[in-house]
Amino acid sequence: MTEWKPETYGPRWKNVYDHIDWPQPEGAVEFLAKRAGSGRALELAIGTGRVAIPLARLGVPLDGLDASPEIVEVMRGKPGGESIEVSIGNIADFTSERRYSLIFLLLNSLYALQTQEEQIQCFESVAAHLEPGGLFVVETFVPDPTRFHFNGRAHVYDVGLDHVRIEADTFDRATQHIKENHIEIREDGIRLYPAFLRYTWPSELDLMARIAGLELSERWGDWGNVPYDTYSENHIGVYRKAS
């Protein structure tokens, strides 16, 4: 693989995504349900529906958008996943006749867009599809450059009798890129699960929102309404379109 694209993720990760030790979705679902408003919701990078499906069960009408038809098919196989309307496309540049009271982009999926221009374009596309007073919720990790030595890092995170799992990363401070590959070594071969990211700082997200005509409404360190501070490892930004 020489070039990363958002749609690169799905074909490689579809069979393992739901087996990763992600945080349980209940906190995010409750947080989003309280902010859904009276209109429809849209999840960008809906993936396997880990948040969208339980949110829909609470009665929030929602649609999805994802770059990968393969990973959406995983969602289709889950109870409730078949009833969510999903479009296939790039989250940076999407169009719909519908307008939404809530749009959300979770689990660092904004970072799959490889340039600042694409990330700004995502904010602009969101703003164009929000109702007046609507909210855009973005979840990202807070960058920690101290994790990397000599612009790289390797970490063994699972060892068994028949497998080893390693994460290898390179880090470019100038471009804000992290190229990571999760490597699974088994007796029958080696599998690679890449994720190329262009990270941002919360202050940069605020500027992107302002360019798109959105303003910061709330900022949290996790889904339990814990304030964002110097020790926060995650960032949840809530941006509002003027009413």
Q: What is the pLDDT along the chain (243 residues), one digit of tens a residue?
A: 457 666 677 777 777 777 777 788 999 999 999 999 999 999 999 999 999 999 999 999 999 999 999 999 999 999 999 999 999 999 999 999 999 999 999 999 999 999 999 999 999 999 999 999 999 999 999 998 888 888 898 999 889 999 999 999 999 999 999 998 889 999 899 988 888 999 999 999 999 999 999 999 999 999 999 999 999 999 999 999 998
Phi, psi of 178, rounded to the nearest 5 degrees = -120, 125
Q: How far apart are CA 221 and CA 45, in angstroms?
A: 21
Is the alpha carbon torsion for 77, 81, 126, 36 positive or negative? negative
What domains can you pick out in the chain, each with its CATH number?
6-142+201-241 (3.40.50.150), 145-196 (2.20.25.570)
Q: What angle do CA 71, 180, 230 make, to 5 degrees?
A: 100
Burial class (CB in 10 A: 0-12, 13-18, 19+), 123: buried
Q: How far apart are CA 181 and CA 157, in angstroms?
A: 13
CB 49 within 8 A of CB 29: no
pTM: 0.91
CB 94 within 8 A of CB 45: no
